[in-house]
Amino acid sequence: MDFYTRYAAYQAAIEQYLEGLFSTDKPYGRLQEAMRYSLLSGGKRIRPVLTLEMARLGGIDWHLALPYACALELVHTYSLIHDDLPCMDNDDYRRGRLTNHKVFGEAMALLAGDGLLTLAFEVMSEQRNVKPSTLVEVIHETAMCAGNFGMVGGQALDLEAEGKKISAKELKTLHEGKTGAMFIAAIRGGAHLAGATDEQLLALTHFAELIGLAFQIEDDILDVTGTQEELGKPIGSDDKNEKSTYVTLYGLDKAREMSEQTTQEALQCLDMFGEKAEALRELAKMMCHRRN
């Protein structure tokens, strides 16, 4: 099976699982509608795909990792809903559609994000075919990556940096949390579920850190060079919010060079896995050479 066929199979399984999380007999109609609106609005599903590919690389049936993988998408979607709110980035469009608060109002959008985050840990706890101690470790690491020492902490630094020119070190720290931490959760979570060794986990963690950095650099580049049709949201939002980016700090050409170099360094982390990691290499290149 080639990479793109496998990626499509992952996406189809993820969509089916996410759709199945919402029962029509639950009483919370408007809240559930708001949660579904953002969760089922498409997207590349990169984080859960990474987890499923890690499970396959580790030699287990990747379908077994679907609960944890899809829980990561719940966390990611909640963060997007909150990120789009007027008190944060104040964006009107996401994935080519009106943002959640534009459709359901700010209060319901806030609750939809809260609901998705809480549901994520409920779904994680339903992961089967893994030792309880391993599952506890995975959930603990995910909470760390999603919380004030990870994604939320990075978002806080991002807010504080608006209107300021921050240093390259500060920018890297910001995005290690805001963007990179959930890539680490996706990679390490899948690796844990597949029984990775400590040596493998070390290499894969470094891989995750590097692709997270390359992904963010590319995101900064696309905010300048992309189109609203490609990105599904207005371009230039970083400039509108007066944010320091890899493009404002280094210039467009240097940022492109940094993205490519970081991607190549990430790929070297997979040498120990040989040909078995070829699909993971293709996934990393796709993430860091994307157009949306």
Give ∠ CA 225-231-235 in degrees, rounded to 5.
50
Measured CA to CA, the distance from residue 47 to residue 45 in angstroms comes to: 6
Model's pTM, two decimal places? 0.93
Measured CA to CA, the distance from residue 276 to residue 282 in angstroms comes to: 12
Please say whether the beta carbons of 153 and 106 come within 8 A: no
Which residues, 6 or more positions from 125, have their beta carbon under 8 angstroms from its beta carbon? 135, 139
Please say whether the beta carbons of 32 and 24 come within 8 A: no
Residue 143 has pLDDT above 80, yes or no: yes
236 token code pair:
């230039």
Alpha-carbon torsion, ordered 21, 22, 24, 28, to 10 deg:
130
Give ∠ CA 84-51-94 in degrees, rounded to 5.
20
The model's pLDDT over 28-62, given as tens digits with 9 standing for 90+, comes to: 689 999 999 999 998 899 999 999 999 999 999 99
SS3 98: strand
Q: Which of 116-130, 150-164, 191-205, 222-236 has the lowest mean pLDDT?
A: 222-236
Residue 203 has pLDDT above 90, yes or no: yes
The model's pLDDT over 210-234, given as tens digits with 9 standing for 90+, comes to: 999 999 999 999 988 876 666 666 6
Q: How far is CA 185 from the centre of its chain?
A: 9
Which residues, 6 or more positions from 205, have their beta carbon under 8 angstroms from its beta carbon? 184, 187, 188
Pick from 177, 43, 79, 66: nearest CA to 124: 66
Q: What is the pLDDT of residue 256?
A: 93
Q: What is the pLDDT of residue 1?
A: 73
Give me the count of residues in the chain.
Answer: 292
The model's pLDDT over 167-185, given as tens digits with 9 standing for 90+, comes to: 999 999 999 999 999 999 9
Q: What is the pLDDT of residue 121?
A: 97
107 token code pair:
């209060």
Q: Which of 59-68, 74-83, 90-99, 194-203 has the lowest mean pLDDT?
A: 90-99
Measured CA to CA, the distance from residue 284 to residue 44 in angstroms comes to: 13
Q: Which three-class secondary structure string do you get for 126-152?
A: CCCCCCHHHHHHHHHHHHHHHCCCCHH
